[in-house]
């Protein structure tokens, strides 16, 4: 999808799993001119990572973010489909109603940070949001999911898997910032969900739309939930976790990314 004066801003949301990306997309979609999918192409977009797929994506799949293709749900695209859950049915029904007037379109797939160079070759003027969460919060959330007996989350995906994933994601994003700083906005999880109007304004300015009253309402609800519930939860810390984080977490890259978000 090439950009022009009248084209919507193509936007991708990403981050390590359990970093608030889904809630962030909910905030974006509260705007009447924003349509960002919820893992709309979770299977398809990662395949752009190979050279062969880049060529295919640049030709046959270049219409992924046109109306006809976006609302044509296929098994090879995703399992997050309207028929799977009333929440998704309502999400995409609302998007269909405002699609023709959307100024921002895109998708949220957490691990897209792995293929940003390939995405750049296909979608030359795309914008990226990267949700950056503290390693302790990520590790705790991965532990919770890993311990649930009725969850599809793999039992081995606890802090030992979370920390290397967190390191890799932050490193890749830092490298992308060096190459193309104007194309990506790092959004610090804790600051955003604490309720920061200036950061909210910066998020929407990044994709060239104004903050609307409905966005402010949804954002206030999220900030309230974070303050009342999320911040008050005791972290789920497993044996050996603190030592593992101290030895393996790349805090230097994290602090560099965080400092950039505070100074910009």
pLDDT bin (cut points 50, 70, 90) of residue 3 is very low
pLDDT-derived band at 121 (thresholds 50, 70, 90) equals confident
Q: What is the pLDDT of residue 113?
A: 93
Burial of 213 (0-12, 13-18, 19+ CB in 10 A): exposed
Band of pLDDT at residue 37, cut at 50, 70 and 90: very high
Query: 245: domain CATH number?
Result: 3.40.50.300
Residue-level pLDDT at 97? 96
Residue 13 belongs to some domain of the structure? yes
Higher pLDDT, 89 or 152: 89
Could you give phi then psi for residue 19, rounded to 5 degrees? -115, 15
Residue 130 placed within a domain: yes
142 part of a folded domain: yes
- Residues 6+ away with beta carbon under 8 Å from 246: none
At 138 the pLDDT is 96
Question: What 3-state class would DSSP assign to 78?
Answer: coil
Give a yes or no: residue 66 inside a domain.
Answer: no
What Å distances lie between residue 100 and 95, 104, 135, CA to CA?
A: 9, 11, 40
Q: What pLDDT digit, counting tens, does each position of 211-247 carry? A: 999 999 999 999 999 999 988 888 899 999 999 999 9
Whether the pLDDT of residue 210 is over 50: the answer is yes
* pTM, full prediction: 0.92
pLDDT: which is higher, 11 or 60: 11
70 near 105, Cβ under 8 Å? Answer: yes
Cα separation of the two ends of the chain: 29
Asked whether the predicted pLDDT for residue 4 surpasses 50, the reply is no
pLDDT tens for residues 74-108? 999 999 999 999 999 999 999 999 999 999 999 99
Question: 60 falls in which pLDDT band (50, 70, 90)?
Answer: very low
Judged against a pLDDT cut of 60, whether residue 59 lies above it is answered with no
Residue 98 within a domain: no
Residue 48 lies in a domain: no
* Domains in the chain, number: 1
Q: What is the pLDDT at residue 176?
A: 94
How far apart (Å, rounded) are the C-alpha atoms in residues 70 and 1? 12
For residue 2, pLDDT over 70 is answered with no
What is the strand order of the sheet 104-108 is part of? Answer: 34-38, 104-108, 9-15, 127-132, 184-188
Give me the domain span that covers residue 153: 9-33+104-263
Whether residue 199 lies inside any domain: the answer is yes
- Indicate whether 54 pLDDT > 80: no
Mean pLDDT of the chain: 90
Is residue 49 domain-resident?
no
| Angle between helices 159-179 and 135-147 in degrees, nearest 10 | 140
- Residue 190 neighbours by CB distance under 10 Å: 16
């Amino acid at each position: 999808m090439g950009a022009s004066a009248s084209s919507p801003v193509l936007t991708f949301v990403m981050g390590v799993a359990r970093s608030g990306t889904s809630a962030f997309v909910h905030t974006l979609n509260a705007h009447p001119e924003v349509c960002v999918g919820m893992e709309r192409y979770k299977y398809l977009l990662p395949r752009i990572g190979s050279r062969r797929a880049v060529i295919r994506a640049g030709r046959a799949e270049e219409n992924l973010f046109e109306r006809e293709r976006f609302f044509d749900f296929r098994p090879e695209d995703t399992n997050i489909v309207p028929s799977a859950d009333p929440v998704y049915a309502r999400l995409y029904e609302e998007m269909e109603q405002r699609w023709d007037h959307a100024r921002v379109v895109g998708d949220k797939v957490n691990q897209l940070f792995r293929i940003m160079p390939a995405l750049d070759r296909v979608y030359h003027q795309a914008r990226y949001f990267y949700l950056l969460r503290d390693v302790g919060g990520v590790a705790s959330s991965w532990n919770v999911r890993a311990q649930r007996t009725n969850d599809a989350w793999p039992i081995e995906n606890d802090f030992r898997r979370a920390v290397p994933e967190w390191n890799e994601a932050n490193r890749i994003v830092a490298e992308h910032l060096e190459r193309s700083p104007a194309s990506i906005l790092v959004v610090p999880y804790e600051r955003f969900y604490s309720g920061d109007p200036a950061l909210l304004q910066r998020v929407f300015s990044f994709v060239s739309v104004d903050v609307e009253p409905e966005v402010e309402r949804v954002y206030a609800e999220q900030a309230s939930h974070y303050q009342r519930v999320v911040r008050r939860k005791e972290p789920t810390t497993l044996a050996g976790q603190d030592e593992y984080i101290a030895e393996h977490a790349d805090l230097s890259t994290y602090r560099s990314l965080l400092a950039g978000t505070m100074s910009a």
